[in-house]
């Protein structure tokens, strides 16, 4: 009888899974790998990296969506776990990212960007007496250190406005927040290009334009897809993406670096 109940619960959990979220997770992971694999195939750099521009905005979309779910349902434990995982992998991913980067230090890995966006949202929704002061102080620090943060302050703010997009029930506000999010993701990619000093090379201008457009399209499509497709039925089964996805980020960077160095 116990096994039957467990089976019923398990089947119910599978049915209740957000299929759109599962699909976006896989798209984010695959496009991230395609982006990073561009160092192995320099002749396809423009194509691979343009495709790879989908990864960051989709990760931001998923983070914002999950934050809205957790905060609206007052899932404090979920928020604490989210914070712990992001903070832990900020540290664990730094050396692999710098190895992969191959260049003098420019920015931190992408995890601090996600963590800072997470913190701004949580502080913005906090009822704590000093939450507003903490929010403003953190935003000032992020702005001052923007050159060291991947996708800069624009990438951090992208998470905040995507959160507002999912939170609001007003149709006009949703359009407003989505338009700002599209602008922010474009600015984030252009800023990365600027702080990398690539603007001195005219041949990189087409690359910067492709990155900005690709990431803007990903933001627009991804956010609306997740909003409208929460209860969709996919014509195929997708394995769920679990906690292993956190490990995947630093591990795949090391693997690609090894292949680049020694293959």
> What pLDDT, on the 0 to 100 scale, is given for residue 51?
97
Residues 186/215, Cβ–Cβ less than 8 Å: yes
> What pLDDT, on the 0 to 100 scale, is given for residue 15?
52
Higher pLDDT, 143 or 9: 143
**Alpha-helical runs (H) found in 102-243:** 110-125, 131-144, 152-167, 171-195, 205-228
Does the pLDDT at position 13 exceed 60?
no
- Least Cα distance to 69 among 166, 160, 161 occurs for 166
Reported pTM = 0.91
Exposure on the CB side of residue 155, measured as CA atoms within 13 A: 31
Does the pLDDT at position 16 exceed 80?
no
Q: Distance (Å, rounded) from C-alpha 133 to C-alpha 173?
A: 25
Tokens matching residue 194: 């600027």
> What pLDDT, on the 0 to 100 scale, is given for residue 196?
66
> What pLDDT, on the 0 to 100 scale, is given for residue 3?
46
Does the pLDDT at position 88 exceed 60?
yes
Of 181-190, 197-206, 222-231, least confident by mean pLDDT is 197-206
Of 4-18, 175-189, 227-241, least confident by mean pLDDT is 4-18
What mean pLDDT is reported for the chain? 91
Residues 113/150, Cβ–Cβ less than 8 Å: yes
């Amino acid at each position: 009888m116990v096994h039957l109940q467990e089976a019923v619960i398990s089947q119910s959990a599978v049915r209740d899974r957000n299929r759109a979220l599962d699909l976006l997770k896989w798209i984010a992971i695959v496009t991230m790998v395609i982006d990073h694999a561009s160092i192995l195939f320099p002749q396809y750099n423009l194509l691979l990296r343009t495709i790879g521009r989908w990864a960051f905005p989709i990760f931001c979309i998923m983070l914002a969506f999950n934050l809205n779910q957790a905060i609206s349902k007052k899932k404090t434990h979920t928020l604490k776990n989210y914070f712990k995982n992001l903070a832990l992998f900020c540290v664990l991913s730094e050396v692999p990212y710098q190895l992969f980067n191959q260049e003098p230090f420019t920015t931190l890995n992408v995890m601090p960007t996600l963590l800072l966006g997470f913190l701004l949202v949580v502080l913005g929704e906090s009822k704590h007496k000093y939450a507003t002061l903490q929010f403003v102080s953190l935003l000032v620090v992020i702005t001052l250190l923007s050159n060291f943060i991947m996708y800069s302050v624009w990438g951090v703010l992208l998470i905040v406005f995507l959160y507002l997009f999912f939170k609001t029930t007003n149709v006009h506000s949703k359009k407003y927040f989505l338009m700002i999010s599209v602008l922010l993701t474009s600015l984030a990619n252009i800023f990365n290009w600027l702080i990398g000093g690539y603007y001195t090379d005219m041949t990189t201008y087409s690359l910067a334009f492709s990155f900005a457009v690709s990431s803007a399209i990903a933001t627009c499509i991804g956010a609306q897809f997740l909003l409208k497709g929460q209860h969709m039925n996919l014509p195929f089964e997708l394995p769920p993406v679990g906690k292993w996805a956190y490990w995947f980020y630093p591990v795949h960077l090391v693997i690609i670096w090894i292949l680049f160095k020694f293959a």
